[in-house]
């Protein structure tokens, strides 16, 4: 691992936990081995490719990885563990985040399944454990109390949530506070073409509570790279599920073109790419409140993600991008 890169990249606080993370982390849904819902998006990655992606992230200074129980029913966790071992990373040298799957379950499942999560991670501790979505058979309070018990038992270091609204964030924080803890994060869909957290209270609440926002799909399924604008035929490639989620209709391509053109223009000034500018905006436009977890199924994609931390947009560039994308709030 490149120790110099680890030192040079500014770390952001993960909520008020004392844990520090790089502005860019690694989303690990694609490590699911082509199983589960992930299989509708990505084919299985070879062990060599997975290891290469993880090593490239580490060599570039990225220090954290986000996976989940539902990503292939533990396969992503296991493949991440294997890749970290292949890179020579010991427990505690990288920050590992994973998630409990709440669907059709109660909060009792949080304690009942934690050992299985740790088994899949095979020697790596859980630094951040998140409730994947607000849809279990239990209340937020019950879930947070169960999570707090895991912290007390030394099974996890901190507690987060995902896809929760502002009200749910406040309930989670209030419950954890009674246990002497704080809510670390809320992982949500956020990018330049999906900015609703800025208008529905989520971002405002995060800043008020000192909660980190973890942005997933930060490149909107590749739409913000500009590749589909340059070559619309690429829309036909990839899985059917990804094409449906992408929503790259001719109308959307035309509507977003002015933003993409600006990203390209700004990228040229920084010897970067439109995707890197889009990621840089997310992680700098709101101070250190927002971090991002782009995925990568190929080493060059991870190299690009790493490169998004090699420069910093000017205030004028951030403002220009904001103006061109504010219609997507």
Active site residues: 71
Sheet arrangement for strand 26-27 = 26-27, 64-66, 95-100, 128-131, 159-162, 183-189, 212-216, 290-292
A 10 A CB-CB count for 64 gives 23
User: Which stretch of DSSP H or E encloses residue 64?
Assistant: strand 64-66
322's tokens: 């904001």
Give exposure, 25-45, as e/b (b: 16+ Cβ within 10 Å): bbbbbbbbbeebebeebbebb
What does R_g of the chain's alpha carbons equal in angstroms? Answer: 19
With a CB cutoff of 8 Å and minimum separation 6, the contacts of 327 are none
Nearest to 126 by CA among 161, 102, 162, 150: 150
User: Which stretch of DSSP H or E encloses residue 7?
Assistant: helix 3-8
CA–CA separation, 175 and 75 (whole Å): 32
Structural contact between residues 247 and 217, judged by C-beta atoms closer than 8 angstroms: no
Geometric angle at alpha carbon 121, from 116 and 126, rounded to 5°: 90
Structural contact between residues 282 and 191, judged by C-beta atoms closer than 8 angstroms: yes
Residue reference for tokens 């090593």: 55
142's tokens: 């019950």
Residue 290 β-bridge partners: 213
Three-state secondary structure call for residue 309: coil
């Amino acid at each position: 691992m490149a120790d110099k890169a680890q030192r040079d990249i500014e770390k952001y606080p993960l909520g008020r936990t004392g844990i520090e993370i790089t502005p860019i982390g690694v989303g690990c849904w694609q490590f699911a081995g082509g199983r589960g819902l992930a299989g509708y998006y990505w084919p299985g990655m070879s062990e060599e490719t997975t290891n290469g992606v993880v090593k490239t992230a580490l060599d570039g200074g990225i220090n954290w990885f986000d996976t989940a129980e539902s990503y292939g029913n533990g396969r992503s966790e296991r493949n991440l563990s294997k890749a970290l071992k292949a890179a020579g990373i010991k427990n505690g040298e990288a920050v590992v985040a994973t998630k409990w799957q709440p669907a059709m379950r109660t909060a009792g499942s949080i304690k009942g399944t934690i050992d299985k999560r740790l088994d899949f991670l095979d020697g790596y501790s859980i630094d951040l454990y998140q409730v994947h979505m607000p849809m279990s058979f239990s209340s937020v309070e019950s879930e947070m109390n169960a999570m707090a018990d895991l912290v007390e038992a030394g099974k996890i270091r901190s507690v987060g949530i995902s896809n929760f609204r502002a009200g749910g964030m406040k309930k989670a924080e209030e419950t954890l506070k009674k246990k002497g803890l704080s809510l670390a994060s809320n992982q949500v869909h956020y990018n330049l073409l999906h900015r609703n957290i800025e208008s529905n209270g989520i971002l405002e609440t995060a800043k008020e509570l000192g909660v980190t926002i973890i942005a997933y799909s930060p490149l909107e399924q590749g739409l913000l790279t500009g590749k589909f604008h340059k070559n619309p035929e690429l829309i036909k490639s990839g899985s059917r599920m990804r094409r449906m989620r992408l929503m790259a209709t001719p109308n959307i391509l035309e509507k977003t073109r002015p933003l993409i053109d600006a990203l390209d223009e700004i990228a040229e000034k920084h010897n970067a790419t439109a995707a890197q500018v889009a990621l840089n905006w997310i992680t700098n436009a709101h101070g250190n409140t927002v971090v991002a977890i782009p995925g990568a199924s190929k080493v060059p994609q991870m190299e690009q993600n790493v490169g998004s931390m090699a420069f910093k947009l000017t205030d004028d560039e951030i403002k220009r991008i904001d103006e061109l994308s504010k219609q997507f709030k």
